[in-house]
Amino acid sequence: MKLYYINNDQTRNPGLHHEVHTSEHAAELRISSKKLVGYYDNEVQAVQAAKSFYNDADGCAICCPRAHRG
Ligand SMILES: [Zn+2]
* Dist. CA 35 → ligand 1 center (Å): 14
* Dist. CA 28 → ligand 1 center (Å): 9
* Dist. CA 43 → ligand 1 center (Å): 10
* Dist. CA 25 → ligand 1 center (Å): 5
pLDDT in tens, 48-69: 999 999 999 999 999 999 999 8
* Dist. CA 55 → ligand 1 center (Å): 18
First to last CA, the chain: 24
What integer is the mean pLDDT of 13-19? 90
Q: pLDDT at residue 70 above 80? A: no
